Copies of this chain bind each other. A is one copy, B any other.
Amino acid sequence: MATLEDIGVSAAINILSAFAFLLAFAFLRIQPINDRVYFPKWYLAGARTGSPGSAGRGVIGKFVNLNFATYFTFLNWMPQALKMSEAEIINHAGLDSAAFLRIYILGLNIFVPVTLLALLILIPVNVSSGTLFFLRKDLVVSDIDKLSISNVRPKSNRFFVHIGLLYAITFWTCCMLYKEYSYVASMRLRFLASQQRRAEQFTVVVRNVPRASGKSTSDSVDHFFQKNHPDTYLCHQAVYNANKFAKLVRKRDRLQNWLDYNQLKYERNPEKRPTRKTGFLGLWGKQVDSIEYYKHQINVLEKRMALERQKILKDSKSILPVAFVSFKSRWGAAVCAQTQQSRNPTLWLTNWAPEPRDIYWRNLAIPFVSLTIRKLIISVSVFALVFFYMIPIAFVQSLANLEGLERVAPFLRPVIELHIIKSFLQGFLPGLALKVFLYILPAILMIMSKIEGFISVSSLERRSAAKYYYFILVNVFLGSIITGTAFQQLDSFLHQSPTEIPRTIGVSIPMKATFFITYIMVDGWAGVAAEILRLKPLVIFHLKNLFLVKTERDRAKAMDPGSVAFAETLPSLQLYFLLGLVYAVVTPVLLPFILVFFAFAFLVYRHQIINVYNQRYESAAAFWPHVHSRIIASLLIAQLLLMGLLGTKKAANSTPLLAILPILTFYFHHYCKHRFEPAFRKYPLEANC
C-alpha cells in the first residue's frame, strides 16, 4: 500500500506530464500551420478562412508563429474558454454539447460541498480514533488508511458520524440532481420550441408498413394516413434502398475532386495542360488531357446515375417498408408520434423522426420479430463480453507467446532467439492482445448496438455508452476492488449470499483508495490534458496535408474536428461520480483529486467544444436521463457498500438506519423519472400548437 509520499510522487509526475501536455498544446496551437487542428469549429462556422493575421507575414509566418509575445501567455485559453455564455454555446455548438458541460458543473456542484464537509468532519473523526496506530508495525498500513474509515475501532459509535454524513451527501446529491434535471429538461423544451421551422419537427418516421398485395408501399402509406389523420396529414417520403446509387455518388465526388485539382494546376501553370494515362491508377495506357478526361468520365457517370435513379424509382422492391410522414402542423406530428396507429401493435410503428444527420439508415427496415431476436442475442453477448472477455484474450495471449510464434513461423526463430528482441517480445506480447482489445472495445460495442437495430445515431451512441458503462463498472471498478477476473467474481458472487456480496466488496474498498487516486491522476488528469493536445488528429492532419491534399476541398476534409465521443466519455465520467460517492465517507482524501478532475476537464471540454468539436447530430440532450439514473445507481452502490463495510466493522445496529437510505433514493429516482423523463421521451401537445 502506498504512503502519502508515494501518492505525492505520483501526483507530481502526473501533474508534470499534464503540464507538459498543456505546454505542448500552448506551443502548437499558436502555430498557424496547426490552426485547422485546434480551431476547426471556427472554419466550419465560417468565421475563419486562414489563421488570424497570417497575411503579410511571409512564407515562414504562414507556418510558424513569429510573434514571440504570444508564447508567454500559454494558459490564456482558460479564461477564453470561460468567456462564452451558455446561451452562446447552445447557439454555437448545439444543446448536446451544452448539456454535456452541465455534467461537469453538476459534478462540481455535488462534490465541492461534499469534499469540504467530508474533509472537515471525517478526517478528525478518523484520525483521532486511531486503531491502526496500535497494530503491529510490520503490518503495512499506509498513511492514507489512517485518514480513512479503516482507522475507526470496530463497534465504535463514531460510525454514526459516517452514516449521518452519507445521509447528508445523499440528500445533497439528490437536491442537485433534481435541480439539474429540471434545468436540463426546461433547456431542452426551450431549445426544441425555439428552433426554426424545420422539416423533422413536422415529420414522423413510420416503420413496419405492411405490404398489401397489389398496392405499393407508397399508396398504402398515403391511404392509411389519409384515413387516420385526415386533418393533419400532408405528404410522405418513401425510403429507397439506394446503396448502388450512393456508391456512384461517391465515385462522382472523387472524380470531381481530381478535376478540380487539375483545373487548379492548369490555372497556376497555364502553359501546360495537365495530362494523365488512361490505365490503372494513371500509371500506363494512352496519354490524355486530364481535364477533358475527367469531364468526360463525370459525364458518363452522371448518365449512369440518372439510369440507376430511374431504376430505383420504378422497382417496387427497392422501396423499403418505411416512410417519413409529414404533417401540416407540429401538433399533428406530435399526435401521430405518440399514438398507436394500428390494431396490430407491431405494424405502423410511429416515432418522431430523428433529424436527417442523425438517422442511421441501414436499421430503418428491420422487421419487428427480427428486432426482438436481435435484442435477445445482443443482451446475451453483452453479458458474455462483460464477464468472459478475458477468455478469448487469454487464448490469443497463449497463441501469441514466443513458443507459439516459433511453431507457427519457424523461419522467425533466429530473429526471436536474439536476446534483446526476446525479452522485449516476452514483456510486450502478452499485454498486446489486451491493449488492442481495450482500444477496439468502443467500436465492438457500437457494432453490437447497430445490430440491436436502433434507427438514430444518437440512440446508438447512448446504447454503446450503456454497454461501456457496464463493462467499466464490472471490470474497472469491481475488478480493481476484488482481484480476479470478472468471470471468477461472477462465479463467487453466484455462490455467495446476497448479503455477503456488499461485505466482500465493502471490506476491500478502503484498501483500494490509493489505487483509485493514481487512476484518477493517470486516466483523469493526464487523460484530459492529452485530450486538449489532440495528438492523433494533429499527426493525421499533417500526414494528410503532406500526402493527400490536392485541393481546398481536400484540406477542409483533412481537417476532422470530430464530435465529443459520448459513447466513451459519458461512461468514464460516470465512473468518477461513482468513485466520488463511494469514497466520500470511506476515504475522503480521494475527493480533492476528483474535484480537480472535474474542474480541469470542464475547462478543457469547454475549450474543445468552442474551438474544435463539430457534433454530427443534435439530440437535444437526450442522454440526460441516463446521466441522471447512473448517478442514482452510484448513490445506491455507495450506500450498499457502506452497509457491507459497516457490517464487517460489527456496527450491526446501524444497518436499519442505512437500509432506509436506498429505498428513499430509489423512490427519489422513481419520482424524477415520472416528473422529468417525459420531457425527453414524449412531446407535449401544449408546446406544439
Residues of A within 8 A of B (CB): 189, 224, 227-229, 231, 331, 334-335, 338-343, 345-346, 348, 368-369, 372, 375-376, 380, 494-500, 663, 667, 670-671, 674-679, 682-687, 689
For the complex, give the distance between the alpha carbons of A405 and B675 in Å.
53
Chain B residues in 8 Å Cβ range of A228: 331, 685-686, 689
Contact of A341 among B345, B494, B671, B686 (CB under 8 A): B686
Known A231-B231, A339-B334; contact A345-B682, beta-carbon cutoff 8 A: yes
Kindly report which residue of chain B lies nearest to residue A664, judged by CB atoms: B376
Chain B residue numbers with a CB within 8 Å of A334 are 339
If A339-B682, A497-B500 are given as contacts, then 12 extra A-B residue pairs at C-beta distance below 8 Å, sorted by A number, are: A227-B689, A339-B684, A340-B678, A340-B682, A342-B684, A343-B684, A345-B679, A346-B675, A368-B674, A372-B674, A375-B667, A494-B498
Supposing A227-B689, A340-B684, A499-B494 touch, asked if A674 and B346 sit within 8 A by C-beta, the answer is yes
Can you name 21 A-B residue pairings with CB atoms under 8 Å?
Answer: A228-B331, A228-B685, A228-B686, A229-B685, A335-B335, A338-B338, A338-B339, A338-B340, A339-B683, A339-B685, A340-B682, A345-B674, A345-B675, A345-B676, A345-B678, A345-B682, A346-B674, A372-B674, A375-B667, A494-B497, A495-B497
Inter-subunit contact B340/A339 (CB<8 Å): no
A667 to B374, CA, bound (A): 11
Instruction: Point out the residues of chain B lying under 8 angstroms from A340, CB to CB.
Output: 338, 678, 682-685
Tell me which residues across on chain B come within 8 A of A674, comparing CB atoms.
345-346, 368, 372
A676 surroundings in chain B (CB, below 8 A):
345
Partner of A343, one of B498, B663, B687: B687
Tell whether, in the assembled complex, residue A343 and residue B686 are in contact, meaning their CB atoms are under 8 Å apart.
yes
Using Cβ atoms and an 8 Å threshold, which residues of chain B touch A675? 345-346, 368
- Which of A375, A674, A685 is packed against the most chain B CB atoms within 10 Å? A685
Q: Which residues of B contact A682 (CB under 8 A)?
A: 339-340, 345
CB nearest to A342 among chain B residues: B686
A185 to chain B, nearest CB (A): 9
In the docked arrangement, what's the CA distance between A376 and B342, Å? 36
> How far is B652's CA from A596's CA once the two chains are assembled, in angstroms?
52
Residues of B within 8 A of A345 (CB): 674-679, 682, 684
| Cα distance, A340 to B683, chains bound together (Å) | 6
Residues in B neighbouring A346, C-beta threshold 8 A: 674-675
Q: Which residues of B contact A495 (CB under 8 A)?
A: 497, 499-500
Expressed in whole angstroms, the Cα–Cα distance for A495 and B498 within the complex equals 7
Q: Is the pair B335, A376 in contact by a Cβ cutoff of 8 Å?
A: no
Chain B residues positioned under 8 Å from A229 (CB to CB): 685
Residues of B within 8 A of A689 (CB): 227-228
Given contacts A372-B670, A372-B671, contact A684 B498 (CB under 8 A): no
Residues in B with CB closer than 8 Å to A335 are: 335, 339
CA distance A251 to B604 in the complex (A): 76
Chain B residues with Cβ below 8 Å from A679 are 343, 345
Closest 8 CB pairs of A and B: A345-B678, A340-B682, A338-B339, A376-B667, A495-B497, A372-B671, A340-B684, A228-B685
**Complex alpha-carbon distance, A671 and B345, angstroms:** 11
* Chain B residues whose C-beta falls within 8 Å of the C-beta of A227 in the assembled complex: 686, 689
* CB pair B338 A667 closer than 8 Å: no
What B residues does A677 contact at CB under 8 A?
A: 345
Q: Are A496 and B494 in contact (CB under 8 A)?
A: no
Q: How far is the CA of A674 from the CA of B663 in the complex (A)?
A: 30
CA distance A682 to B345 in the complex (A): 9
Task: Report the minimum CB–CB distance from A125 to chain B (whole Å).
Answer: 31
- Measured between beta carbons, the chain B residues less than 8 angstroms from A189 are 343
Inter-chain contacts of A375 with B (CB < 8 A): 667, 670
Provide the bound-state CA to CA distance between A686 and B225, in Å. 10
- Taking the closest CB of chain B, its distance from the CB of A92, in whole angstroms, is 26
